[in-house]
Chains A and B, each alone.
Chain A
Amino acid sequence: MAFRDEWLRARAVAWKDLMAERRSKAGFNSVAALGVTILVLFGFALGPDAEAIRAAAPGALWLAALFAGVLAFNRSYQVELDGGALEPLLMYPGARRSIFAGKLLANFVFVFLLLVIVIAVSLVLFHITVPSTWPRLLLVVLLGEVGLVTLGTFYAAMASRSRAREVLLPLLLFPMLVPVLLAAMQATKALLVGDVMHDAGAWTSLLVAYDVIFLISTFLAFDYVIEA
């Protein structure tokens, strides 16, 4: 079945990326260290006042994940470009979108592990108490991550193959990520303070809609991006 073939291809690409990442080791450790550093810097920026720090924690958490994640997105093509391995990869039979799906999957796992560390550190640094609604919080984190990783992986396919990729990726990606970050931050904030206004649900639906729209459009557009 065609779908099963595509899934197997995507899984192979993801497995290859993750193994390469695991063997290099330096990649994930330094990105995670950067994420923690950003959290500490936010702590200094927001002052010693415990209440102010707690109130700003959702924003700091997502921004730390974003800034550290950007490095991961560029890396995911960089290793192949440096080794001249992207062209051979594109020459394999089958739809190109399975390559995108594979990279997406690998980045999802990578950023998920990053988020685990970032969230664990922010729980300590920002005096967050885990609410009883933590499964919903986990859902929000995963949905927000899907949006982040989808657009990140997509724009990195362009930016990493241009001049000045370090500047171009954030410049293209951050404005596009405004809605997903806004929704993820607001939903996280609502769930952490107990959702008295009952707006976590609305933000979560917005996240779902956003994820669906951008998953479909990036899958449709990836063929054009990788072709050139």
Chain B
Amino acid sequence: MTAAAAFTLEVPKSGRWPIFGWFAVLFLAGAQITAFAISPPDRDMGDLQKILYVHVPAAWNMGICYLLVAIYSFRYLWKRDDRDDLIAASAAEVGTLLNGLTLVLGMIWARPTWGVWWVWDARLTSTLIMFLVFAGYLALRAFVEEPDRRALWSAVAGIMGAINYPIVYMSVRWWRTIHQVQSTPSTLDPTYTFSLRLNAVAVLFILIYFIRRRYEAALTERVTEQLSQAAALGGPLHA
């Protein structure tokens, strides 16, 4: 799995992705302006509701990231393709970023709404635990140098982390029997739902851009590693 498969990796090309990056950032700004313009202040929450246009999309997309980590980790264990490992790692990093953002925005929303920065409710607590699990995942990647070992171990750690989420959620829910009832879109103002979905799509574009470019950087690094390894082992490389 080391030398033979290694040279099938190609240097990734940026292609039109920089343009997509500009589009994603501008689309996010546009989505936020639209949400501000069309949705009236909430009856109970007032302007605070506008925080949710960033908080909720970040939380949804965080879930997508962790799902990608689990899928590509399984795929790595199955096919042993280095690229799957790098995609899982990129998704984990972006997921952790969105996870941190979700937590901080949730706190900023909770302070004026509930009067406290933090409540030990099931969703909040399991989101925090997920953040810690994936901080551990990223630390594992940082502390293991050998690429094949790092890929295998982080695939396993990523899958175990994903399994852990529902268990943490259930146990914290039992621990704190009082929990907020999840609001369903049907009880909400239609402009609110539309704005929320628009912003979720905008964050999804940002996520795609981030993961793609992070993967590009990781793959370039990997190709460089292999080149210098080959150069150290036996002169100039022709592959």
Contact = CB atoms under 8 A, between A and B. Distances in A.
B152 to A, nearest CB: 4
Contacts of A199: 174
Contacts of A163: 143-145
A167 B139 contact: yes
B140 interface: yes
B23 interface: no
A96 B163 CA distance: 23
A228 B152 contact: yes
A1 interface: no
By secondary structure, the B interface counts as helix
Interface string B146-175: 101100110111011101100110111011
Contacts of A224: 77, 152-153, 155-156
Contacts of A174: 132
Nearest to B172: A182
B167 A213 contact: yes
B132 A175 contact: yes
Contacts of B153: 158, 224-225, 228
B135 interface: yes
B238 to A, nearest CB: 29
A183 interface: yes
A158 B157 contact: yes
25 contacts: A158-B140, A158-B153, A162-B143, A162-B144, A167-B139, A168-B136, A168-B143, A172-B140, A172-B157, A174-B132, A175-B129, A176-B133, A178-B164, A178-B171, A179-B168, A182-B172, A183-B171, A202-B174, A203-B174, A210-B167, A217-B160, A224-B155, A225-B152, A225-B156, A228-B152
A52 interface: no
By secondary structure, the A interface counts as helix
A192 B160 CA distance: 32
Given A158-B140, A178-B168, A183-B171, A221 B132 contact: no
Interface string A144-184: 00000000000000110111100110011011101100110
Given A162-B140, A221-B159, A175 B164 contact: yes
Interface in B171-204: 171-172, 174-175
Interface of B: 77, 129, 132-133, 135-137, 139-140, 143-146, 148-149, 152-153, 155-157, 159-161, 163-164, 167-168, 170-172, 174-175
B149 A179 contact: no
Interface in A208-228: 210, 213, 217-218, 221, 224-225, 227-228
Contacts of B160: 176, 217-218, 221
A56 interface: no
A164 B143 contact: yes
B168 to A, nearest CB: 5
Given A224-B77, A228-B152, A175 B146 contact: no
A156 B130 CA distance: 20
Contacts of B77: 224
A12 interface: no
Contacts of A227: 152
Contacts of A202: 174
Given A203-B174, A228-B148, A168 B140 contact: yes
A98 interface: no
B172 to A, nearest CB: 7
A179 B152 contact: no
